[in-house]
């Protein structure tokens, strides 16, 4: 009996050791208990929602609006060194950069103030600049771009988020917009900036120095997290935007990176530093319960196709992006296969052109399709003719002339035949009439 017990204990110790060395973890089924009225946790790569609390319910976004304002500016202003002169600036309530008429800043400087200091006056200046002098036209752009990415329950009515009953969104839509904005490298660099400063000017003779309003980046204030007093500052967080009005409550969009996975959290309508407690709880829930796995690595799926009668002889292609999935910890990957579907080759092909799709199958069922993109230019051996506009214009003109001549010849032949038939018919009629007259005389 002692030997049996000893053997069982040894097996238990060995099994425990195996679990620890194999790094096997199982999902914690308990979901976060948040004070916020609205919250969504989204995987950045896939857009998969990992947690939802009233995520589709209407809310006021306050200054988190400015994340989308910045995105629209970045999309429509390719040169951020363009200088904007401050003039005829109306009074704007709330957080301010204290802009003065007569000052000038480039677009990048204004974006810094918009996202780091959350300056409402800057939001108006940028909106008028991009909207051709009209804030309303810029807001139309904001709504158009939001709808384009699937934020269907959002309606912006201003570029800063000050209270307005016609200015609303949802936690899901804001997470979606935060994810889209974080695709932009300039945006990512600005929202993780801890502080900014501006030199004195004639219109404003004092240095302006602003610390990022996001306490996750800078604050040594404490929160009670899982029974311990810890700093609000959280090293895995790299942005993105805070917000607050009486109606909206405390709001925060956050981006964090850990374990080769970026998560986006959207927390709305809470109070005080519970905003950061809820946001950290939500982010940690994501990392403790889910993992990211790469199903398709675009470099490994690159391929080559021989192209007949082409100068380059072949086309190199690869998927537009790698395909990832987020799974609960402890759940294994399914069985995935891929299939390359190349389109019919039509030259010329330019680098970056779509040339087909890569279909991803999960246990035999189509789960996802990725565009296949050309990695090189491919030109016909007859490119001097087919890709030369002047030569092609001459050829097209020659073809047109030939077609016109052919139509004219056909028309001439048809007309001539009709005339012959008509003459023949008239002769027959005349002959018949003469025959009748001849018989009458006899």
- Is residue 173 classed as helix, strand or coil in its secondary structure? helix
Residue 269 has pLDDT above 90, yes or no: yes
Predicted pLDDT at 421: 80
Residue 294 has pLDDT above 70, yes or no: yes
Question: From the CB of residue 168, how many other CB atoms can be counted at a distance below 10 Å?
Answer: 17
Number of domains present in the structure of the chain: 3
**Cα–Cα separations (whole angstroms), residue 118 to 94, 115, 124, 257:** 9, 5, 12, 23
From 293, 312, 347, give the residue that closes a domain.
293
DSSP notation for 267-313: EEEE-TTHHHHHHHHHHHHHHHHEEEEEEE-TTTT-EEEE-TTBSSS
- Is residue 242 classed as helix, strand or coil in its secondary structure? strand
At 12, the pLDDT band (50, 70, 90 cuts) reads: very low
Average pLDDT over residues 409-419: 87
Distance, CA of 249 to CA of 247 (rounded, Å): 6
**Cα–Cα separations (whole angstroms), residue 368 to 55, 199, 234, 358:** 25, 51, 35, 8
Residue 336 lies in a domain: yes
261 plus 326 within the same structural domain: no
187 plus 49 within the same structural domain: yes
Read off the DSSP letter of residue 440: H
Query: Do 308 and 347 touch, CB atoms closer than 8 A?
Result: no
325 plus 394 within the same structural domain: no
pLDDT in tens, 196-219: 999 998 889 999 999 999 999 999
Distance, CA of 256 to CA of 251 (rounded, Å): 16
255 plus 309 within the same structural domain: no
Residue 314 lies in a domain: yes
Task: Identify the weakest region by mean pLDDT among 106-120, 326-340, 376-390.
Answer: 376-390
Domain range enclosing 412: 388-422
Question: From the CB of residue 397, how many other CB atoms can be counted at a distance below 10 Å?
Answer: 10
394 plus 280 within the same structural domain: no
Residue 22 lies in a domain: no
pLDDT in tens, 58-102: 999 999 999 999 999 999 999 999 999 999 999 999 999 999 999
101 plus 196 within the same structural domain: yes
Of 340, 305, 335, 334, give the one whose Cα is nearest residue 319.
Answer: 340
pLDDT in tens, 385-409: 655 566 557 767 778 888 888 898 9
Residue 428 lies in a domain: no
342 plus 241 within the same structural domain: no
Q: What is the 3-state secondary structure (H, E, C) of 359-379?
A: EEEECCEEEEEEEEEECCCEC
315 plus 357 within the same structural domain: yes
Q: Which is higher by pLDDT, 63 or 26?
A: 63
Residue 315 has pLDDT above 90, yes or no: yes
Task: List the CATH number of the domain containing 74.
Answer: 3.40.710.10
Burial of 371 from C-beta contacts in 10 A (0-12 / 13-18 / 19+) = middle
Predicted pLDDT at 389: 60
219 plus 360 within the same structural domain: no
Q: What are phi and psi of 208, to 5 degrees?
A: -105, 120
Residue 434 has pLDDT above 90, yes or no: no
From 277, 293, 309, give the residue that closes a domain.
293
Helix axes 120-130, 65-76, angle to 10 degrees: 30
Residue 242 lies in a domain: yes
Task: Identify the weakest region by mean pLDDT among 15-19, 117-121, 197-201.
Answer: 15-19
Residue 416 has pLDDT above 90, yes or no: no
Helix axes 135-148, 120-130, angle to 10 degrees: 90
Query: Do 270 and 254 touch, CB atoms closer than 8 A?
Result: no
At 11, the pLDDT band (50, 70, 90 cuts) reads: very low
pLDDT in tens, 150-178: 999 999 999 999 999 999 999 999 999 99
Task: List the CATH number of the domain containing 323.
Answer: 2.60.410.10
Residue 24 has pLDDT above 60, yes or no: no
Across the chain, which distance is largest between two alpha carbons, in Å? 150
Distance, CA of 391 to CA of 385 (rounded, Å): 6
Distance, CA of 35 to CA of 27 (rounded, Å): 23
Predicted pLDDT at 395: 64
Predicted pLDDT at 161: 97
Residue 439 has pLDDT above 80, yes or no: no
Distance, CA of 168 to CA of 155 (rounded, Å): 5
Residue 238 has pLDDT above 60, yes or no: yes
Task: Identify the weakest region by mean pLDDT among 242-256, 258-272, 404-418.
Answer: 404-418
From 244, 272, 293, give the residue that closes a domain.
293
Residue 26 lies in a domain: no
Q: What is the 3-state secondary structure (H, E, C) of 396-439?
A: HHHHHHHHHHHHHHHHHHHHHHHHHHHHHHHHHHHHHHHHHHHH
Residue 11 lies in a domain: no
Predicted pLDDT at 250: 98
Predicted pLDDT at 424: 76
97 plus 225 within the same structural domain: yes
Task: Identify the weakest region by mean pLDDT among 24-38, 87-101, 277-291, 336-350.
Answer: 24-38
320 plus 345 within the same structural domain: yes
Residue 414 lies in a domain: yes
264 plus 307 within the same structural domain: no
Q: What is the mean pLDDT of the chain?
A: 89
């Amino acid at each position: 009996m002692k030997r049996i017990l000893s053997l069982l204990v040894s097996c238990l110790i060995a099994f425990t050791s195996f679990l620890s060395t194999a790094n096997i973890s199982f999902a914690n089924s308990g979901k976060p208990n948040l004070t916020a009225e609205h919250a969504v946790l989204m995987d950045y790569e896939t857009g998969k929602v990992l947690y939802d609390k009233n995520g589709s319910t209407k809310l006021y976004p306050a200054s988190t609006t400015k994340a989308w304002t910045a995105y629209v500016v970045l999309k429509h202003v390719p040169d951020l060194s363009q200088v904007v002169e401050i003039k005829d600036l109306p009074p704007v309530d709330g957080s301010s950069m204290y802009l003065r008429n007569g000052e000038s800043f480039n677009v990048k400087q204004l974006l810094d103030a918009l996202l780091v200091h959350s300056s409402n006056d800057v939001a108006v200046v940028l909106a008028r600049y991009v909207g051709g002098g009209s804030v309303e036209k810029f807001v139309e752009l904001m709504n158009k771009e939001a709808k384009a990415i699937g934020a269907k329950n959002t309606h912006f009515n201003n570029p800063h988020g000050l209270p307005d009953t016609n200015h609303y969104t949802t936690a899901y839509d804001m997470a979606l917009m935060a994810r889209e904005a974080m695709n932009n490298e300039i945006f990512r660099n600005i929202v993780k900036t801890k502080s900014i400063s501006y030199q004195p000017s004639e219109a404003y003779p004092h240095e302006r120095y602003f610390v990022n309003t996001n306490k996750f980046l800078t604050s040594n204030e404490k929160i009670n997290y899982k029974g311990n007093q810890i700093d609000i500052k959280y090293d895995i967080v790299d942005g993105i935007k805070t917000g607050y009005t009486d109606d909206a409550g405390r709001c925060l969009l956050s981006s964090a990176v850990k374990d080769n996975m970026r998560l986006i959290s959207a927390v709305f309508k809470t109070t005080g530093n519970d905003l950061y407690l809820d946001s950290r709880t939500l982010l940690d829930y994501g990392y403790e319960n889910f993992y990211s796995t790469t199903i398709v690595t675009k470099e490994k799926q690159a391929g080559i196709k021989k192209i007949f009668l082409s100068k380059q002889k072949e086309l190199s292609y690869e998927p537009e992006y790698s395909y990832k999935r987020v799974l609960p910890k402890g759940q294994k990957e399914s069985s995935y296969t891929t299939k390359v579907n190349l389109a019919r080759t039509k030259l010329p092909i330019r680098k970056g052109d779509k040339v087909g799709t890569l279909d991803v199958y999960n246990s035999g069922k189509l789960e996802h399709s990725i565009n296949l993109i050309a990695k090189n230019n491919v030109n016909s051996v007859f490119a001097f003719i087919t890709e030369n506009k002047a030569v092609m214009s001459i050829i097209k003109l020659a073809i047109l002339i030939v077609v016109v001549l052919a139509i004219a010849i056909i028309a001439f032949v048809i007309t001539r035949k009709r005339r012959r038939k008509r003459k023949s018919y008239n002769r027959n009629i005349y002959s018949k009439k003469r025959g009748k007259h001849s018989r009458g005389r006899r």
